[in-house]
Amino acid sequence: MTTYLEYWLRMTQCALKGSRAYYVWLFILLVFISLGGVSYYHHLTEGLEVTNMTDQVSWGLGIANFVYFVGVAASAVLLVYPAYIKKHKEIKEVVIIGEQLAFTAIVMCLLFIFTDIGRPERLWHLMPFLGGKLNLPSSLLAWDVVVFNVYLILNMHIPGYLLYTLYRGEKPKWYLYSPFVMISIFFAISIHTVTAFLLSGLGTRYFWNTAIMAPRFLVSAFAVGPAILFIILHVVKRYSLLDVKAPVFEYFKNVMRVTLPVNLFLLGCELFKELYPDTLHASSAHYLFFGLDGHNMLTKFIWPAIAMNITAMIIVVTPKLRAHPIWFLAACILSIVGIWVEKGMGLIFPGFIPTPLGEIVEYAPNLGEIFVSLGITALGALIFTVITKVSITILTGGLRMPSEDDPFEPRIIRHD
């Protein structure tokens, strides 16, 4: 127990040491976290009436971000499978960073839900050990709670155990992590599938009531996840001692070369299904892409988002452009932003517009809602920055359990 407490103490010391740029980055994140905290306190004390959500549009920016970051969490499987199952050496060297990204994204998802429901103290109704009831197996929300929490625990245990054994200089025991890796692959797919079923299962919301919702979610996740990891690992390679090998970046390029076109193909299928029959059920799609009865707030966002996704796809499928680092970086940024709009506000908001009674009430988040979302995103960035800094220090040998010859001097190398 003493050794484990010392391990946490040394990780904390490592997390608190850094360059001036590191402290500036943490300070910026803390500013946004504070703004988000103040805004959320306002929502909590005054109620959701201070937001721009209404009876007609009851899911706002938080739920849109939730759907997006579920995909980010699920995309960790793109590193987990080749690293642990296919024994890809170069990917295995960085898989822990992907698992930590999944852990961070799940924490953010839970916070987006927590801050968007208005009465978070009622969450105990979902906790059987506090007298609540999960309503399994009939409730999709209950399934979502289960898969999210299991996936969160798995992504805490697997990298946590591997880093601890590395810190102690021991060989990890396969039966303490390999079975959990297999389970985590299943749950990575499950979290996004159950989230898709939550939407497509709402029969009165025709915009979401589609059989390809789950495939669209998974493909878009596998398009945006590699883009985010590509940028993160470039930063890691440039500013730390962890040597991210070239095959890892090539792997991300190859994944995006497939998933970005498929994502657009599925969007095209959805557009055809909605617009060609041109029934009353296509009203939400009309509102999103062309406006409805003079209401066109989302039209200004969805077409630029589609243009970004098409541009990113052209870059990744063109060998010369894909090989150019600046062009590919641009493709990553375009796909991250484009899919965020398409999968977030471009999917969630139109599901409520018009309502089943035909009312058209548009929604745009106010400044308080934006600050809450920025605060959660900043908190996620802070968590990821700190745990990644510590894990890289362990992975590169900068933090090890002190030897018996010199028990009071753990070897810590600065990784700014």
Model confidence over 89-105: pLDDT tens digits?
999 999 999 999 999 99
Is the entire prediction scored with pTM above 0.75? yes
Contact in structure between 365 and 60 (CB atoms under 8 Å): yes
411 has a pLDDT exceeding 80: no
Note the pLDDT of residue 413.
41
In whole angstroms, give the CA distance from residue 398 to residue 416: 12
Instruction: Report the chain's mean pLDDT, rounded to a whole number.
Output: 91
What is the longest distance spanned by two Cα atoms in the chain? 78
By C-alpha distance, which of 311, 211, 217 is closest to 261?
311
Note the pLDDT of residue 374.
97
Give 159-210 pLDDT, tens digit per residue.
Answer: 999 999 999 999 999 999 999 999 999 999 999 899 999 999 988 888 999 9
Note the pLDDT of residue 141.
85
Q: How confident is the model at residue 407 (pLDDT cuts 50, 70, 90)?
A: very low
By C-alpha distance, which of 347, 112, 322, 104 is closest to 229?
104
Q: How confident is the model at residue 409 (pLDDT cuts 50, 70, 90)?
A: very low
415 has a pLDDT exceeding 60: no
Q: Which residue type sits at 323?
A: A
Give 318-349 pLDDT, tens digit per residue.
Answer: 999 999 999 999 999 999 999 999 999 999 99
Which segments of 215-297 are extended strands (E)?
none
